[in-house]
Amino acid sequence: MSMPTTPLRPRALFAMGRSHRDALFPPEAVRRLSLSCEIDPELLVEDFAQVPGLAGLDDVELLITSWGCPPLDAAVLARMPRLKAVVHAAGSVKHHVTQACWDRGLLVSTAAAANAVPVAEYTVAAVLFANKRVLEIAGHYREHHAVEDWTLRFPGFGNHRRTVGLVGASLVGRKVLELLRPFDFELLLADPLLDHATARALGARLVELDELLAGCDVVSLHAPALPETHHLLDARRLALLPDGATLVNTARGSLVDQHALTAEVSSGRIHAVLDVTEPEVLPATSPLYTLPNVLLTPHIAGSLGGELRRITISAIEEVERYCAGSEFAHPVTRAALAVSA
């Protein structure tokens, strides 16, 4: 009588920048992966053109990708005839998941939900500091070494009953709404794909974008970068923000007309917390580096340092689900990708 055979585990391959692989998948993470799939920790693809012939690709069933993964176009997919799934250990898959992937019928998963957590946390911190005028007060105190009547200087400042508006009910936007719920805010939301009932369930009141901009103390952007959202906040819409309002952008720099924003904050009329800009790194002459009413950070809101562990766990769990024959917990569909980051 023949003995039952053990099912072959799917062959997996890392495709990402080396530094990201080292940060996301240390030895203990690779050991856990190896319990579900066959994976060579030394084999890493940063450029498919550099992989000679079919070596290391022809039997790959599962790609584990992250930042730095090259595009998976038709020519690349032709070299991986057995490829069935892509698990992305990062946020957006738009940089590497091409039309050819959907034509092949590949299953795609993302750790965007895990990456949304630190972005949302950064945003909440920005909202709380903005309403409390922490940056301005700290700057004045550092320069003058003196205490003023801050209520006289900033009438009505603080976080009690302020109005906060979110543009976009993305994964990050929804997480921000969840984290802001315990605070004493009025929450507004603008998203053309949402209805009033869904907005109420998220804890916000759905309004048109112009109404939101005109009525908020803080406005936070969480919309995707699409042709129709390019410079969504132009000079006209930025002018709708009340005097003293703060604009927070942790989404994409292209959502805001950079020249119009620079003019507004240079006048001192509004404030800004910017983790993303257009271009990504501003010219050295940009006044945004030095204006006291602007906090400029170099795209750090997303997962960094110890926060990467959350992404690693999410990706490993998706690999385990796939290898067990289960559906992904965080699938990406072609339709959803068309209106997301």
Query: pLDDT tens-digit profile of 117-172?
Result: 999 999 999 999 999 999 889 998 999 999 999 999 888 899 999 999 999 999 99
Structure token digits, residue 179 = 């984290």
Identify whether 259 is a catalytic site residue: no
Phi, psi for residue 56 in degrees, rounded to 5: 80, 0
Name the catalytic one among 222, 237, 252, 330.
252
Is 50 exceeded by the pLDDT of residue 36? yes
- Between CA 210 and CA 192 the distance in angstroms is 12
- Between CA 214 and CA 216 the distance in angstroms is 6
Residue 7: band (very low, low, confident or very high) from pLDDT cuts 50, 70, 90: low
Phi, psi for residue 198 in degrees, rounded to 5: -65, -40
Identify whether 299 is a catalytic site residue: yes
Residues of the chain above pLDDT 70, percent:
97
Name the catalytic one among 148, 178, 208, 280.
280
pLDDT, tens only, 56-103: 799 999 999 999 999 999 999 999 999 999 999 999 999 999 999 999
The H or E element that residue 81 is part of is none
Q: What is the pLDDT of residue 338?
A: 85
pTM (two decimals): 0.93
Identify whether 269 is a catalytic site residue: no
Is 90 exceeded by the pLDDT of residue 114? yes
Q: What is the pLDDT of residue 155?
A: 87
Name the catalytic one among 32, 104, 299, 310.
299
Is 90 exceeded by the pLDDT of residue 6? no
The DSSP call for residue 197 is H
Please check whether residue 251 is in contact with residue 245, taking contact to mean a CB–CB distance below 8 angstroms: no
